[in-house]
Amino acid sequence: MSICKEADYSWGLSPHLRGVDDPKWPRIAVEVGDSEPRAKLRGDARFWLVEGGINTTRVLTLDLQPKRIVLALWALKAHDKDEIEITAEIAVRKYGSGVWKAEPGTSMAIQIDVASMLGRHTPPIAREEPMVITLEDLMDIAHMIEEGKVIDRKL
C-alpha cells in the first residue's frame, strides 16, 4: 500500500534490516497541531495506527493551543484493532499569572518501550531502555514556543 500522507516527524527502521515489514510506514509517527481541532489530531493518529497495521505501533500528538499544550501517546486498543486510545498524556496550561504549570492529574512522563520502537528486531541481549518524554520536556517546549523559537527536533 502506498502512503499519501506524511507525519510531521517519524521514526522507523532501516529498510535494509531483514524482516522489516514495510519501511514506508514509520514505527512511531508524530503529528503536531497548532490550529487544528483535537479531533483532527485524533484522526491523524487513527490513520497511522489503523492503516499502518503492524508497522506503526505508536503515535505522539502534540496539540499546541495558546494557553494549553498536550502531548498524547496513542495506540490501538487491545480488544479492537480498528479503535485507538490515549495510553499516556502530559498537559500543561498557562494560567492567569503567565506561568506554565502542569494540569492537575497529568502524567509526569510518557514512555515508549523498545519493543514498540524496534518490534521483533530487538536483540535478545539488548539492554532495553524506553524512550522517555517528561513533563519538564513539555514545559521546555511551552517556553520555546512562547519565546518564538522553533521546536524542530526537540522531541
Beta bridge partners of 61: 31, 72
Q: Report the amino acid identity of residue 144.
A: M
The verdict on residue 23 lying in a domain is yes
Instruction: Give the total number of structural domains in the chain.
Output: 1
| pLDDT tens-place string over residues 73-117 | 999 998 888 899 999 999 999 998 889 999 999 999 999 887 777
Report whether 23 contacts 119 (CB < 8 A): no
Between CA 26 and CA 7 the distance in angstroms is 9
At 1-42, the pLDDT tens digits run: 455 666 665 555 555 454 445 667 888 889 999 878 899 999
| Residue 133 grid cell | 518524554
How far is 141 from 67, CA to CA, in rounded Å? 13
**Domain, as residue range, for 114:** 9-146
Q: Is residue 153 part of a domain?
A: no
